[in-house]
Amino acid sequence: MNSLTIAALLLVFLGLAYQQGWSLSRRLATPQGSLHSRPVYHGSLVAIWTLAPALLVLALWALFGSTASRAFIIANLPAEIVDQGGPALQSAIQRVRQIASGFGVAGDAQPYEAAAGQALRQFQVITSATVLAAITAFAAVSLYFARRRVAPELRARNEVERLVSYLLLACSAVAVLTTLGIVLSLVFEAARFFTFVSPVDFFFGTVWNPRFSTTGSGSGEYGLLPLLWGTVMVAAIAMFVALPIGLMTAIYLSQYARPRVRNVVKPVIEILAGIPTIVYGFFALVTVGPFLASAGAAVGIDIRATSALTAGIVMGIMIIPFISSLSDDILRQVPRAMIDGSIGLGATRSETIKRVVLPAALPGIVGAFLLAVSRAIGETMIVVLAAGNSPFLRANPGEPISTVTVTIVNQLTGDQDFASPQSLVAFALGLTLFVMTLFLNMAALYIVRRFREQYE
């Protein structure tokens, strides 16, 4: 109800401010001749200036409102509960909030809880009234000042343009800040992990055996290498499958296929990219794994149903459309004039592709390759299901392995205690993964950009 009121209030101000700016500028226009900007811009400008301070108030409230109410609840709780701290305090606060909201709580409310809930309710009424009043006041005052600025020579159009660009900047900042936030939380939690386990043991350890946090104080061994090895092996197998098939598909689509064939084949291949990875994992587990095992048995090679090979092959299939559609775009960017030049000299199509198209597109293809590798490294579902989850350093791809992503899943499923290295290690692993894919992506983007410049 409260947020609805606020939204309605803001809408009213928006409409009012726009109308004011618009009609004011219209009135100014008639006697003195021309306005610098059309009334639409004056209206927009007044509306923006009217709403901006109100929205700022709202944002502040959204940021600090819950902290404030928490502090208020704690102030109203008996000292002995506050002193307990931790989860007990947390659940007490939760119960008070529920009482205040009117939904009630499980079991009977203690008198002190009921009292605190009552107080919180009053607090909430007062604060929301304050916020509402503050918004109204800010909006009204700024509407007054914004109106006063309206003048024929006011460059409302340019100013709106600038404000719009700030708005767009703010939106893109959301993505950047989120990334930053994720990185920071990874870094801090990983740092906590490294207070339990030394980075040397983590990055260069060859044994992965974290034990469970419940089995005593022994913290286990956290060697990254077996996991990294598994990740690299699966990714390598995947690329081994995906690169030739994907690239040749791209060559066919971009150089040989008639438009009609292309229009059918390309979307069909892209359907592959739309299949959820869990389905691929399932496919690997149920179909590809047993098939590989029996095929291996037929020729006398011991291949386990869940193994690096199974996961790698299926992951490769998953990545084919990724490589083929990226490479297709890149190959099609090679100018027609260049291909004609080669054909005109009497080269065949495949000679042209080998000697002109591929070399010209090589940087772009390498970029696509790196992007695909980073995709393979971060892929989780297929390996969880089909790689066998066995974190040992093994060279044989027919054996089960485990990867960084699988281990993160393992460490974070079930009961966890975020103060133990068993859970915290997930952040260190995540950070490792993030840094790896970050570098691959940066390298890929750099290379692709270099390639683009060549033809502009």
Partner 1 sequence: MTHNQETETAAMNMSSSQFVQDQLNASEPRSNEMKTRVIAKDVNVFYGAKQALFDVSVNVPDKAVIAFIGPSGCGKSTFLRCLNRMNDTIEGCRVEGEIRLDGQDVYDPKIDVVELRARVGMVFQKPNPFPKSIFENVAYGPKIHGLASNKTELEEIVVTSLKKAGLFEEVKDRLREPGTGLSGGQQQRLCIARAIAVSPEVILMDEPCSALDPIATAKIEELIDELRANFTIAIVTHSMQQAARVSQRTAFFHLGVLVEEGPTEQIFTAPSDKRTQDYVTGRFG
Binding interface with partner 1 (CB under 8 A): 258-259, 335, 337-338, 340-348, 351, 355-356, 359-360, 454
Tally of CA atoms within 13 A in the half-sphere of 72 that contains its CB: 21
Longest dimension (CA), the chain: 97
Which residue, 82 or 265, is less far from partner 1 as judged by CB? 265
Q: What are phi and psi of 109, to 5 degrees?
A: -75, 135
Computed from CA positions of residues 337, 338, 339, 341, in that sequence, does the dihedral angle turn out positive or negative? Answer: positive
Continuous segment of H or E residues that includes residue 147: helix 111-149
Which residue, 27 or 355, is less far from partner 1 as judged by CB? 355
Least Å distance, CB 344 to partner 1, is 4
| Contact assessment for residue 135 and residue 10, using Cβ atoms and an 8 Å cutoff | yes
How far apart CA 253 and CA 243 sit, in angstroms, is: 15
Least Å distance, CB 340 to partner 1, is 6
Which residue, 27 or 354, is less far from partner 1 as judged by CB? 354
Q: What are phi and psi of 23, to 5 degrees?
A: -70, -35
Least Å distance, CB 243 to partner 1, is 23
Give the list of residues 6+ apart from residue 394 with CB closer than 8 angstroms, or none. 229, 401
Least Å distance, CB 356 to partner 1, is 6
Which residue, 45 or 357, is less far from partner 1 as judged by CB? 357
Classify the phi-psi angles of 304: left when phi > 0, otherwise alpha if psi is within -120 to 50, otherwise beta.
beta
Which residue, 224 or 356, is less far from partner 1 as judged by CB? 356
Least Å distance, CB 154 to partner 1, is 48
Beta bridge partners of residue 221, listed in sequence order:
209
How far apart CA 383 and CA 285 sit, in angstroms, is: 10
Vertex 448: Cα angle to 173 and 174 (nearest 5) = 10
Which residue, 218 or 344, is less far from partner 1 as judged by CB? 344
Least Å distance, CB 251 to partner 1, is 16
* Residue (of 127, 93, 88) closest to 113 by Cα position: 93
Least Å distance, CB 347 to partner 1, is 5
Give the list of residues 6+ apart from residue 183 with CB closer than 8 angstroms, or none. 434
Least Å distance, CB 41 to partner 1, is 44
Which residue, 446 or 455, is less far from partner 1 as judged by CB? 455
Which residue, 86 or 259, is less far from partner 1 as judged by CB? 259
How far apart CA 448 and CA 169 sit, in angstroms, is: 25
Least Å distance, CB 258 to partner 1, is 7
| Cβ atoms within 10 Å of 42's Cβ, excluding its own | 33
Tokens of 291: 């098939």
Which residue, 199 or 359, is less far from partner 1 as judged by CB? 359
105: burial class by Cβ within 10 Å (0-12, 13-18, 19+)? middle
Least Å distance, CB 346 to partner 1, is 4
Query: 365-397 in b/e burial notation, b at 16+ Cβ within 10 A?
Result: bbbbbbbbbbbbbbbbbbbbbbbbbbbeebeeb
Classify the phi-psi angles of 77: left when phi > 0, otherwise alpha if psi is within -120 to 50, otherwise beta.
beta
Which residue, 342 or 380, is less far from partner 1 as judged by CB? 342
How far apart CA 67 and CA 192 sit, in angstroms, is: 25
- Using DSSP's 3-state secondary structure scheme, residue 434 falls into helix
Least Å distance, CB 367 to partner 1, is 16
Tokens of 217: 């104080």
Least Å distance, CB 328 to partner 1, is 17
Which residue, 360 or 401, is less far from partner 1 as judged by CB? 360
Which residue, 351 or 417, is less far from partner 1 as judged by CB? 351
Beta bridge partners of residue 222, listed in sequence order:
208
